[in-house]
Structure 1
Amino acid sequence: MPTIGSLFAAIGGFDLGFENAGFSTAWQVELNPVNRAVLADRFPHAQRFDDVRECGAHNLTPVDGVTGGFPCQDISLAGARSTNKDKRGLRGERSGLFWEVIRILKEIQPRWVVLENVVNLLAVNDSEDFETVIRALADCGYVGLWRVLNAQYFGVPQQRRRLFLVAGRGQMPPMDLLADAAPVDAISPASSATPWPVPADAWAANTLLANKAGSQIALGCTTFVSEPNRWDQMVKRQRASETDGLCLGLDAANLAEAFSAGNAVVPQVAEWIARKLMSAG
């Protein structure tokens, strides 16, 4: 069974998708202790480490593939006042951890590497950062391809566009990663009972979570609560709590859970990529 190592594992979106495709997770690196607790529960067979800067060939076992959604804080445009001029990109303290990925690739030399980040990586710093990513991988001996994939076309009721870069060590990944087996509108949603395409007011973005918060499932949609069957009126939060059992706010546990889910790689997308890599033999 092929194995993967997961950098910046979060709650294991990459890991779950790859395991559903037939991989086994050998190790995971994740700084957040809440996320590590989730990983320990769901992937008891994997080793866990907390700091990517302290990991390498001395404590990571060889694997067939390495996955990683490296931090996007210095890249993402999330936030009302954020522009590309404000972004440090790969020079930033958080997103600059990309260089730890490169160091680890040089040390353990996996066959495949799959990286994920926000689409703005293509544009930040006049696209120089994306060129840097490609060049750094090439200097390690990796060649590959990239593509923007949207979760809504993988049976997930959520618009979530993310950049995925797939590369092989001295070997191109399968070219059908750039192709689809059917038109995207022919891919069924998660539930066969859900009409497709989903109308705008049915997306998960319309929640009680704070607007533009890391815990929000989808960005770009004003959050609101509407009275059932009365779209012209807004309900008061207290009434909503009493009538429908809706939370008045998020406690610490709620926030941690929502934040982790909002930051996770969508497993269905990861699984699609992993199955393509499995087909390479």
Structure 2
Amino acid sequence: MPARADGLHLVSLCAGIGGIDLGFHRAGIPTVAAVEIDPAARGVLADRFPETVLFEDLTKVTADDLISVGVVPERTVVAVGWPCQGNSSRGRRQGLDDPRSGLWMHVARLLAELHPRWFVGENVPGLLSVNDGRDFATVLADLAELGMDSAWRVLDARGFGVPHRRRRLVLVGHFGDRTAPVRVLLEPDRVPGHPHPHHPPTPATPAAPAGSAGASRGGGERGGLTTWAPAYSHSLVSHGGNDKQDPSMVTYVVQPDTGPRRLTPLECERLQGFPDDWTATSNARGQADKLRYAQLGNTVAVPVFEWIARRLLAVDSEAVTA
């Protein structure tokens, strides 16, 4: 989808396999440029977004580089799901001192250089508490120093039509309208305890038979066998599907005649809201399952960011017509 002459477009940093990009694409916002250092993930981007200009290293990309490939700052949304390892409750929690999560400084640098219209950031909720909240305060202070007003909210993928527990902190920033980020993240027609108007409440799940792994029934993968699984999958993680993965954090599918098995890469794609086989190739070559598991564990739930993009468009159009 080429950039419209008068519309918003996306610059995607730490783009991974393009979960944020796909959500924005579905809402009508194309990705002009993306930055991703992992060659396999960048190959997925090349296959799925052939019109997007790809850069490799966030620490070296400048605003001039982005402008040279067609980025127009006043129409740009900069989005980033920067590495979460330093903030995760499952890591050492070094926060911004972790060289991976510390890439935030380069995000802030690019925002200062480019001065885009909007900013959308994603990370784990642990960012709110790591180092007693001081690191999140640093992120907010960096945005404020740039003159950007911001708001944040923790969103769970299972509220957006996918059976997947995945809570993520979403941060929205805007130059020039201090209420705009709040209006993106908080819909006026929604109050606590009420279902989203576009997503009816999940129906009660039937009781599972004795010995099954959960309570939700679906069609089997092999020979039409009945498959039983939890109502919601655990949050996918990026261990590459190896046997060292903590079994308490893995969703298993139990089949009566074959026993438990892990989710397949295809099923993980569906849990994250991607089209089937999104990660099957990288640079038009087939990928090993281990790479696909890692990529899908590191990405975002696409429907969450489609919703963010549509809310952002609605609020942006209000500002334009005001």
TM-score interval (norm. to shorter):
0.7 to 0.9
Structure 1 residues 124-157: Cα deviation after superposition (integer angstroms, max 9, x where no partner): 0001111111001111111021000000010011
Give, in whole Å, the separation in 1 of the partners of 2:38 and 2:292. Answer: 12
Counterpart of 1:74? 86
Counterpart of 1:59? 65
Choose from 207, 220, 239 the match for 1:214.
239
In structure 2, the CA distance between the partners of 1:278 and 1:67, relative to structure 1 (3 Å rule), is same
Give, in whole Å, the separation in 2 of the partners of 1:222 and 1:261. Answer: 14
Structure 1 residues 44-103: Cα deviation after superposition (integer angstroms, max 9, x where no partner): 11100010011012311234110000101111112xxx4xxx321011111000000000
Counterpart of 2:105? 99
Displacement after TM superposition at 1:225 (Å): 4.8
Give, in whole Å, the separation in 1 of the partners of 2:143 and 2:98. Answer: 19
In structure 2, the CA distance between the partners of 1:268 and 1:128, relative to structure 1 (3 Å rule), is same
Displacement after TM superposition at 1:31 (Å): 0.6
Counterpart of 1:178? 186
- Number of aligned residue pairs: give it: 251
Find out whether 1:9 has 2:35 as its counterpart: no
Counterpart of 1:253? 288
Counterpart of 1:29? 35
Displacement after TM superposition at 1:215 (Å): 4.3
Choose from 210, 217, 235 the match for 2:259.
235
Give, in whole Å, the separation in 2 of the partners of 1:174 and 1:33. Answer: 33
Native 8 Å contact 1:205 1:219 kept in 2: no
In structure 2, the CA distance between the partners of 1:53 and 1:219, relative to structure 1 (3 Å rule), is farther
Counterpart of 2:152? 146
Counterpart of 1:262? 297
Structure 1 moving runs of 4+ over 6 Å: none
Give, in whole Å, the separation in 2 of the partners of 1:215 and 1:179. Answer: 37
With the length of structure 2 as denominator, give the TM-score of the two structures.
0.70
Counterpart of 1:226? 254
With the length of structure 1 as denominator, give the TM-score of the two structures.
0.80
Structure 1 residues 158-190: Cα deviation after superposition (integer angstroms, max 9, x where no partner): 01000000010132325332236452376548x
Give, in whole Å, the separation in 1 of the partners of 2:25 and 2:86. Answer: 30
CA RMSD of aligned residues (A): 3.0
Identity within the alignment, %: 40
Displacement after TM superposition at 1:220 (Å): 5.6
Displacement after TM superposition at 1:235 (Å): 2.9
Quick one: which amino acid aligns to residue 82 of structure 2?
F
Displacement after TM superposition at 1:197 (Å): 5.2
Gaps of 5+ in 2: 1-6, 206-214, 217-228, 262-285, 318-322
Displacement after TM superposition at 1:266 (Å): 1.3
In structure 2, the CA distance between the partners of 1:205 and 1:215, relative to structure 1 (3 Å rule), is farther
Native 8 Å contact 2:163 2:233 kept in 1: no
Displacement after TM superposition at 1:196 (Å): 3.0
Counterpart of 2:312? 277
